[in-house]
Amino acid sequence: MKNNAGFTLIELITVIIILGILSAVAIPKYIDLQAEARSATADGVLGAAASACAVNYAAVQTKTAPPPAITTCALLNGALSTSGVSIADGATGECSFTIDGSVYSLTLTAETAAAPCSVAKVTGKWPG
């Protein structure tokens, strides 16, 4: 009697074709997900910066020993508690931070006695 152990050539080719189709679909989707994740992280940092402005302004208005008003990127960075992201001085009137090699820029409007600081995306300097 003949012992037929193993796979036939047709079965192996079928598996290779299926793996090729899966990789052709999965790799571009994975790359798209990375870009979406970076963009979502940047939006999260922007939201955290806006929240830090509001919290700092409230503290300045209500505490007897208030923190300094947020007027620079360094003070904004000090008010944030973001993991792995550091906001630094960018171009004039701009702050920047980097996520996985992509540089994002935002404008910082300084805090005044009448209003908290505010942040906004810089058009053309917000990849994603």
- The Cα 99–Cα 66 span in angstroms is 31
The span from the CA of 57 to the CA of 112, in Å, is 9
Q: What is the pLDDT of residue 106?
A: 93
Judge whether residue 83 has pLDDT over 90. Answer: no
CA atoms of 115 and 57, how far apart (whole Å): 7
Q: Which of 13-17, 20-24, 65-69, 79-83 has the highest mean pLDDT?
A: 13-17
Q: What is the pLDDT of residues 6-42, one digit of tens each?
A: 888 999 999 999 999 998 888 888 888 888 898 899 9
- Once rounded to an integer, what is the mean pLDDT over residues 103-124? 92
Whole-model pTM? 0.74
